[in-house]
Every structure is written in C-alpha cells, then in structure tokens.
C-alpha cells in the first residue's frame, strides 16, 4: 500500500501524511453528506482532540466526486472547517488517488498508521447510533500503538456510505 501522500486542505495548503514526527497518524476517509460519517463525526473529533498532545496526527480526507455530490465540494468542506467542525486538517482528494491507494471503500473508513504502516483499519466503534461508545475501537488501537504494543484488534468492518467514485 502506498501510504505517503500530500493533499491540499480547504485553504489550499499542502498537508502530508508524515510530518512532525508523530508517533501515529489517523487517516479518516469521510465526507459532508453521509449519515454514517455525520453520526460518527463528533466522536472522531473528540479522538483528534484527546490524542493531539500524545503525538497522534489526525487527518480527514474527502475523496467523493464533488461534481455529482455538491455537498462534498471544496466550498462546502471549507464552510464546515470555518464553522469549527473539524479538529484538524480536512483534506481534498479530488483525483481520488489517495482513497484508491489506501483501499478506502466507505465514509467513514478509519486507518491508524505507525512507523511500520497501517496497524488498524475499520469503524470507529461498533454502533454509529451510540455516541457513548466514544470511538472505542479507534481509541484502543491508538492506546496500543502509543504503548508500543501490537494492536489487539487490527481490523474491524468499516461501515458507512460507499465512496462516490468518478
């Protein structure tokens, strides 16, 4: 899998996967309109905030075809960022190359990486309708990585809306 990427954020600034020597990076393929992505959104932002000072980089990527899905346009993404809805960069994958390289299939599709590559892939937790779960699967994977342990549950089934391919 080709992990490295550089994508623009909603202001056009280039952001790379590997910057600042982070111990781990979370990459979430998400979007503006999918009910699953919206249901998990706040839990994911909480993880980004809770782990920011622990050496975890948190990147969210919209790879949907914005021509067919205008709610996923850069302008619509920027409006959400400007409204303070994202705890970290919200990146534009207009070519869809990064989503394809990573094998992302749904929104949200969550990946955790460390120096060895992808160590977790799947859903944030077991039920998009239950905020009390607090993205527990993602948190457990990050806790394992930060403690230097192998991730106990390295894969769960990602649940969400299909990525809207060109």
Tokens encoding 116? 């060895």
Residue 14 confidence (pLDDT): 97
Residue 2 confidence (pLDDT): 55
Residue 70 confidence (pLDDT): 97
pLDDT one-digit tens code per residue, 17-50:
977 778 899 999 999 999 999 999 999 999 999 9
The total of other beta-carbon atoms located within 10 Å of residue 9's CB is 20
Where does 21-162 sit in CATH, by number? 3.40.30.10
Low-confidence ranges of the chain (pLDDT < 70): 1-2
Residue 3 confidence (pLDDT): 85
């Amino acid at each position: 899998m080709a992990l490295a990427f550089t994508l623009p954020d909603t202001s056009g600034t280039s952001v790379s996967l590997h910057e600042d020597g982070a111990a781990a990076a979370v990459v979430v393929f998400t979007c503006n309109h999918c009910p699953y992505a919206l249901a998990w959104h706040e839990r994911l932002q909480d993880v980004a905030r809770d782990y920011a000072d622990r050496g975890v980089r948190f990147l969210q990527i919209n790879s949907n075809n914005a021509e067919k899905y205008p709610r996923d346009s850069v302008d619509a993404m920027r409006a959400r960022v400007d409204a303070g809805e994202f705890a970290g960069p919200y990146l534009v994958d207009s070519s869809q190359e990064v989503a394809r390289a990573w094998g992302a299939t749904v929104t949200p599709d969550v990946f955790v990486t460390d120096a060895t590559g992808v160590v977790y892939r799947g859903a944030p937790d077991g039920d998009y309708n239950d905020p009390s779960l607090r993205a527990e699967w993602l948190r457990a994977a990050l806790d394992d990585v930060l403690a230097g342990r192998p991730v106990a549950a390295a894969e769960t089934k990602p649940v969400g809306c299909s990525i809207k391919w060109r």
